[in-house]
Chain A
Amino acid sequence: AQSVTQLDSQVPVFEEAPVELRCNYSSSVSVYLFWYVQYPNQGLQLLLKYLSGSTLVESINGFEAEFNKSQTSFHLRKPSVHISDTAEYFCAVSDHGGGKLIFGQGTELSVKP
């Protein structure tokens, strides 16, 4: 069985500041890792994913996450945030059989001017 812990429930940050949203997971098998973003009153959108290969993955809007197997982490970072990045961010894992995503409890990112 897998589990996901997002270490911060809320992260307030000023516009143009860097941000890191932390995610740790637990699993007895190899996993795939995902970050989803949820804007108010909308469904979840895939932000980025790690399936294999390079441990550093990037999104089209400047976010990146690094898979660290030894620390069982998949932290999400952005060097300079915008007001529009304000949303709820969810880290998720699935085993290599796929089909079931296990989500963390979410981190609310609030970007202030």
Chain B
Amino acid sequence: EAGVVQSPRYKIIEKKQPVAFWCNPISGHNTLYWYLQNLGQGPELLIRYENEEAVDDSQLPKDRFSAERLKGVDSTLKIQPAELGDSAVYLCASSLDRGTSSYNEQFFGPGTRLTVL
């Protein structure tokens, strides 16, 4: 079974440029998460989707960050414009539906390492 797929794995951009990250969750996982991991820190949730609905986006900086999951499967996270402080690893995770015994087990992708110059 394929795990969570993320692309690109690495991205280097100039500040003020836009950037997008793509995530394809594990097949059958209707819940999808985007986390931000700064160097030397634990991941922090940016947004959580239940199918197409963003049910928790309270930590997403909406002035420059946006996300979508139009068909309830894969998802895109965008930053426009990028700032120097956005340099970090962006992790995508997925889990089964709420109400299943494995809902609380999140499976993580390898992440996208963003460097903003």
Contact = CB atoms under 8 A, between A and B. Distances in A.
B67 interface: no
Interface residues of A, number: 24
B48 A103 contact: no
Given A44-B91, A99-B48, 9 more contacts: A43-B4, A44-B108, A49-B104, A90-B42, A90-B43, A98-B98, A101-B43, A103-B43, A105-B41
Contacts of B91: 43-44
Contact of A41 (B42, B44, B106, B110): B110
A103 B108 contact: no
Interface in B82-117: 91, 93, 98, 103-111
Contacts, number: 53
Contacts of A51: 104
Contacts of A43: 4, 91, 108-111
Interface string A21-32: 000000000001
15 contacts: A4-B42, A41-B110, A42-B110, A46-B105, A46-B106, A51-B104, A90-B42, A98-B98, A99-B98, A99-B103, A101-B43, A103-B42, A103-B44, A104-B42, A105-B40
What is the size category of the interface that chain B forms with chain A?
Answer: 20 to 34
A86 interface: no
